[in-house]
Amino acid sequence: MLDDIKKFDVPTPKEIVEELDKYIIGQDEAKKAVAIALRNRGRRKLLPEELRDEIAPKNIIMIGPTGVGKTEIARRLASITKAPFLKVEATKYTEVGYVGRDVESMVRDLTNIAVNMCKSEMQQIVESEAEKIVEERLLDILFPAPEYFKKKMNSKEFENLSEEERLHIIRFTNNREKFRERLLKGEFEDKYIEIATKERFFPAFELFGGMNIEDIEIMIPGFSNFVPKRTKTKKVTVKEARKILLAEESEKLIDMDKVISRALELVENMGIIFIDEIDKIIGPDTRSGPSVSREGVQRDLLPIVEGTSVMTKYGVVRTHHILFIAAGAFHTNKPSDLIPELQGRFPIRVELKSLTQEDFKKILTLPKNALTKQYRELLKTEGVDLVFEDDGIDEITKFAYKVNTETEDIGARRLYTIMEKLLEDISFNAPDLKGQTIRITAEYVREKLKSITENRDLTRYIL
């Protein structure tokens, strides 16, 4: 049983949370909720079919002030799951009939992602085979074979050749192998050769009435196959040619039908769509005046979250089991301001908390990609050893927290602005500081930020 779950590559909830912990401080409740939702997909796949269809994903809304890690959790989730994952901004969409992207396009985008995922997976499988073919093709170009050699012959035909012809062939074969060795050693990498590539020529102008190729593909599947291929000769280095030919040859080896059917299955059962800024599609009080188009977007979202069939260029995709995670700051409104039908489709609510000074300290130092680590590495390239002292970090977080409470709370983003200001001079002068060690102490921080923090108006503009 456990082995089966492994087969679907869904890590355990604990493993997911552990992975998220490497980048995100606190917010345990949100981490737990997404971990469970993710794991449930894997569980569902193991159920008998009748039951599997009944189990709808438990969509999640993440609520919390700005800059506390909502988007960051989603971003990290994408790298943990090997499932197709799409992050969209709700504000990007417009109601059907208005100019802009319609909501269904998110399903099409997710499908494209899945197809690319499956394709590159396949590419890895056929890679070594394609490499061999490319090697032969490069040899053919660098060291063209005489006509009679190109003809594959069996041993009997070979025996029937004249002594001279046979010698010729043997000599040619030996030479070719020597060339192969030199090619593999990389001796020809910068040599220019001519290769013939086939490209589809898509007209750059709009086709019918503002439709692009993708729209047409949906109506007429396989449309782009009718666009003629043009053969073009290109002069490139062997190194570049290898890349081009490799793409061309692996394309030929990949069974696209298989890729697409796998991708569609993956999207329908494991796909995840993260809808950011969902609070921004709540209109102003709609009871007064005609309903605005933002509410239209909510209404368009309903069927997709509930389960519908969307036409994509790869075929129909059922959205019934796609997991939706929405997030929003909900500063001026509440989740209950969403239209009721939509609220009901997001049964799990998790709240992310405002960050404390202690959290700031951890965010600055602990995550794999922590800001202090980033600046340290950046300056190391200039030969400058940047050391953050403990009291220096304390002072930075104290300032960040203070500015957040006194002006506007922008969460961890405050750390970015403060750090940038703090290290501005060092960054600027770094090339002249080669070989030095610079310590960021409490005193240094106070000194650098004093002039700004003493003046509240200045703080507002600079930090």
Ligand X SMILES: Nc1ncnc2c1ncn2[C@@H]1O[C@H](COP(=O)(O)OP(=O)(O)OP(=O)(O)O)[C@@H](O)[C@H]1O
User: Is 357 a residue that touches ligand X (CB under 6 A)?
Assistant: no
User: Is 25 a residue that touches ligand X (CB under 6 A)?
Assistant: yes
Asked if residue 263 lies in contact with residue 122, where contact means CB atoms within 8 angstroms, the answer is no
Q: Which region among 160-168, 204-212, 408-416, 430-438 touches ligand X (by CB under 6 A)?
A: 408-416
User: DSSP secondary-structure letter at 11?
Assistant: P
Cα distance between residue 108 and residue 214, in whole Å = 10
Among residues 60, 61, 63, 68, which is the contact residue for ligand X, using CB under 6 A?
Answer: 68
Determine whether 412 is exposed, middle or buried from the number of CB atoms within 10 Å of its CB (0-12, 13-18, 19+): buried
User: Is 106 a residue that touches ligand X (CB under 6 A)?
Assistant: no
Which of the listed partners (ligand X, Mg ion, none) does 329 bind, with a CB threshold of 5 to 8 Å by partner kind?
ligand X
Among residues 363, 423, 426, 452, which is the contact residue for ligand X, using CB under 6 A?
Answer: 363
Q: Is 172 left (phi over 0), alpha (psi -120 to 50) or beta?
A: alpha
Which of the listed partners (Mg ion, ligand X, none) does 367 bind, with a CB threshold of 5 to 8 Å by partner kind?
ligand X
Which of the listed partners (ligand X, Mg ion, none) does 26 bind, with a CB threshold of 5 to 8 Å by partner kind?
ligand X
Question: What Rg do the C-alpha atoms of the chain give, in angstroms?
Answer: 30
Which of the listed partners (ligand X, Mg ion, none) does 392 bind, with a CB threshold of 5 to 8 Å by partner kind?
none
Q: Closest CB to Mg ion among 71 and 308? A: 71
Q: For residue 297, count other CB atoms closer than 10 A to its CB.
A: 25
User: DSSP secondary-structure letter at 101?
Assistant: B
Q: Closest CB to ligand X among 274 and 314? A: 274
Q: For residue 211, count other CB atoms closer than 10 A to its CB.
A: 13
Determine whether 287 is exposed, middle or buried from the number of CB atoms within 10 Å of its CB (0-12, 13-18, 19+): exposed
User: Is 115 a residue that touches ligand X (CB under 6 A)?
Assistant: no
| Least distance CB 73 / ligand X (angstroms) | 7
Q: Which region among 24-32, 157-165, 176-184, 455-463 touches ligand X (by CB under 6 A)?
A: 24-32
User: Is 90 a residue that touches ligand X (CB under 6 A)?
Assistant: no
Q: Give the amino acid at 460.
A: R
Among residues 10, 16, 27, 260, which is the contact residue for ligand X, using CB under 6 A?
Answer: 27
Contacting positions for Mg ion (CB under 5 A): 71
Cβ neighbours of residue 39 under 8 Å, at least 6 residues apart?
10, 11, 12, 13, 16
Write out the binding residues for ligand X, residues 312-331 only, by CB under 6 A. 329
User: Is 26 a residue that touches ligand X (CB under 6 A)?
Assistant: yes
Q: For residue 405, count other CB atoms closer than 10 A to its CB.
A: 11
For 33-163, strand residue ranges (E) read 60-63, 85-89
Per-position b or e across 345-372, b if 16+ CB within 10 A of its CB: bbeeebebeebeeebbbebbbebeebbb
Q: Which region among 21-29, 30-38, 245-253, 339-347 touches ligand X (by CB under 6 A)?
A: 21-29
Q: Which region among 2-10, 22-30, 259-267, 299-307 touches ligand X (by CB under 6 A)?
A: 22-30
User: Is 71 a residue that touches ligand X (CB under 6 A)?
Assistant: yes
Among residues 57, 84, 271, 411, which is the contact residue for ligand X, using CB under 6 A?
Answer: 411
User: Is 66 a residue that touches ligand X (CB under 6 A)?
Assistant: yes
Q: Which region among 11-19, 336-344, 375-383, 410-418 touches ligand X (by CB under 6 A)?
A: 410-418
Asked if residue 30 lies in contact with residue 73, where contact means CB atoms within 8 angstroms, the answer is yes
- Give φ, ψ of 455 to 5 degrees: -110, 110
Per-residue contact track with ligand X, 36 to 65, x per CB under 6 A? ----------------------------x-
Of 359, 362, 412, the residue nearest 67 (C-alpha): 412
User: Is 296 a residue that touches ligand X (CB under 6 A)?
Assistant: no
Which of the listed partners (ligand X, Mg ion, none) does 80 bind, with a CB threshold of 5 to 8 Å by partner kind?
none
Which residues make up the interface to ligand X (CB under 6 A)? 24-27, 64, 66-72, 329, 363, 367, 411-413
